[in-house]
Structure 1
Amino acid sequence: MPVISLPNVRLHVQELNPEGAETLIMVHGMFSNLAVYYFNIAPMLAKHFRVVLFDMKGHGMSEKVQTGYDLTSMTNDLRDLMDALGIEKAHLAGYSYGGLVALKMATRFPERVGKLAIIEGPDPSEQETLTIIDTYSKEFLIHYIENFADTTRLLAGKRQLEKNHRMYEFLFNETSIRSDMEGEKAFFNDPAVAAIEHETLLIYGEESNCVPSGRTLASRISNATLVLAPGDHNVPVQQPEVIGKELERFFEPSPLPVG
């Protein structure tokens, strides 16, 4: 699908099963791209839903911008994308920082969110959050190259590594990403998070440093269920079938009305 021009940014979008009755939007984490879902998890869910994937600003094939990586700006982008695609309401799944974007959507635009799945959403108040995201995003890239590059894997992998290295340098050195993320340190303590009423699934790797974040969210969101899966912060890459099946069960489509 082409890059879509929104009011403030151009985002690269991919859709699976565009005729699906219900829509599920999946948000990747910082320093990665939509490929974290595209090859394994998204096809499982596309059997049941219209699945929308997009590269966040500054990532993948989306526009490179210097500012606007805070949660309010990110959710403005997601709302604008929903408007552009004619999506009034969607289920949301978000991984890592993308999980925080999904949570923020539920606090700002609750009427536009169905069910909510948060995979490894880190507590921004933890000092190690940015390091965790950065480290595991590099692991994700290596996995992507090893498993999904084409027949000229070595050459394609080298090109991808070089491209991703440029993305890291851009995000770290030429954008507000660090200060924007640091500005979200109070997010888990926001009363709006505790007021979320959406049915919420929290999936964390049992070996992850972010498990305490999952327990915190589980204690604050009244309609939340915490599930621990084998793996660490990179659990969607390590256990895509496990995560896909958890999401399938949780987002089970509504039954069609009788008569």
Structure 2
Amino acid sequence: MESIEDVQYVVVHGHRRAYRIAGSGPALLLLHGLACDSSTWVDVMPALAEHHTVIAPDLLGHGQSDKPNADYSLGGYANGMRDLLTVLGIDKVTVIGHSFGGGVAMQFAYQFPDRTERVVLVSTGGLGKEVTPLIRLMTVPGSGMAIAVATMRPWRPLVRGALASLSRLPISATRDLGEVARIYESLADPALRTAVQRVTSHVVDWRGQFVTMTDRSYLARLMPVMVIWGREDMVIPVSHAESAPSPVSDVHVLEDSGHFPHRDHPEQFARLVQQFIEANAPAHYHRGRWRALLKRGDQHELESVEQPAAPRPAIV
């Protein structure tokens, strides 16, 4: 089995795409959040790879993937994931997305339902307006120059060290600062900084998130969906879990966890994912069902053309 620490590369549309891959069996596609990379998944990949082929790419503009002047929209990312999977010879996946990656996961399932078996959303964007002011500030004119100054070499080690130290305090408000420290240092790269601002501009403005999938969440009736959130998330509020697609979503709110529940509780996270997969057969795309649901929208339950829907469990 390939080492999870090894990053591999493939060129798609002239741009280098970095990814980690491990295991064998039905495929899982793991999508990281804004200004992160595939390393965010290394703690959960070994357990998931025991039963699955696990693919964790660095999204374009992030990590070790190229950072071109390109399309950084949700639709563009969904297309890029389809093409990466095609090059790797993978037809269908259960897609797991964290934060911004959750938005990409929902967009992938929306654009390519024939290639999506299940969806797992982790502290996801796209279910509400509220988001941390730090992300909203990235859309303000002049923020790029401010970030460039804030990440200059003379004080970069000091700031990262201070953030990492604060993250070890027994205070929920500082829990995620270790991850913030990694993101802060990555933003010293001008190409990544530009890409991240491009991404942000597609989904957020100074008032908050303006792109939502809630108007299309009724389509989840034809696809198993699970939502995982940290109770102490300071980036995107856990209340957004209440907007999760209904009626077929499993919703799990993890205690003693912030915006990165897969890093706070990797064993529990992997167990929840495996249980969800075992309990839910993969979705099978049927054009007639899809058409009927689009025509009816969220006004009525499908009748003879709809697959039976499982009851929505309580948030635990």
Deviations 1:120-176 (A, max 9, x none): 002375252573699xxx89x959xx9xxxxxxxxxxxxx78962424x54444652
Q: Which residue of 2 aligns with 1:119?
A: 122
Q: What is the letter of the counterpart of residue 37 of structure 1?
A: W
Q: Which residue of 2 aligns with 1:110?
A: 113
SS state at 1:187 partner: coil
Contact 1:89 1:112 in 2 (8 A): yes
Q: Which residue of 2 aligns with 1:26?
A: 30
Alignment partners' CA distance in 2, 1:36 and 1:49: 18
Alignment partners' CA distance in 2, 1:8 and 1:190: 35
Contact 2:214 2:243 in 1 (8 A): no
Q: What is the letter of the counterpart of residue 18 of structure 2?
A: H
**Structure 2: any 5+ residue segments left out of the alignment?**
1-6, 138-159, 169-181, 282-316
Deviations 1:154-211 (A, max 9, x none): xxxxxx78962424x54444652221122872323333x3212211110011122421
Change (3 A) 1:110 1:162: closer
Contact 1:119 1:202 in 2 (8 A): yes
Matched length? 230
Structure 1 counterpart of 2:204, from 158, 162, 182: 182
Structure 1 stretch displaced more, 120-129 or 54-63: 120-129
Q: What is the letter of the counterpart of residue 134 of structure 2?
A: T
SS state at 1:10 partner: strand
Q: Which residue of 2 aligns with 1:247?
A: 273
Alignment partner of 1:91 is 2:94: yes
Structure 1 counterpart of 2:239, from 212, 227, 231: 212
Alignment partner of 1:100 is 2:106: no
Structure 2 counterpart of 1:233, from 254, 259, 268: 259
Q: Which residue of 1 aligns with 2:144?
A: none
Q: What is the letter of the counterpart of residue 210 of structure 1?
A: P
Q: What is the letter of the counterpart of residue 4 of structure 1?
A: V
- Aligned pairs for 1:27-66 (under 5 A) are 27-38=31-42, 40-66=43-69
Q: What is the letter of the counterpart of residue 248 of structure 1?
A: Q
Alignment partner of 1:198 is 2:223: yes
Q: Which residue of 1 aligns with 2:307?
A: none
Contact 1:89 1:114 in 2 (8 A): yes
SS state at 1:202 partner: strand
Change (3 A) 1:9 1:190: farther
Change (3 A) 1:28 1:170: same
Alignment partners' CA distance in 1, 2:273 and 2:164: 25
User: Which structure has the larger Rg over C-alpha atoms?
Assistant: 2
Alignment partners' CA distance in 2, 1:49 and 1:26: 12
Indicate the structure whose relative CO is greater, using CA pairs within 8 Å and at least 6 residues apart: 1
> CA RMSD of the aligned region, Å?
3.1
Contact 1:205 1:235 in 2 (8 A): yes
Alignment partners' CA distance in 1, 2:37 and 2:136: 13
Q: Which residue of 1 aligns with 2:179?
A: none
TM-score after normalising by structure 2: 0.64
Alignment partners' CA distance in 2, 1:247 and 1:103: 17
SS state at 1:176 partner: helix
Contact 2:121 2:226 in 1 (8 A): yes
Alignment partner of 1:5 is 2:11: yes
SS state at 1:3 partner: strand
Contact 1:121 1:210 in 2 (8 A): no
**Structure 1: any 5+ residue segments left out of the alignment?**
147-159
Identity between Structure 1 and Structure 2 (%):
22
Alignment partners' CA distance in 1, 2:202 and 2:183: 26
Q: What is the letter of the counterpart of residue 248 of structure 2?
A: N
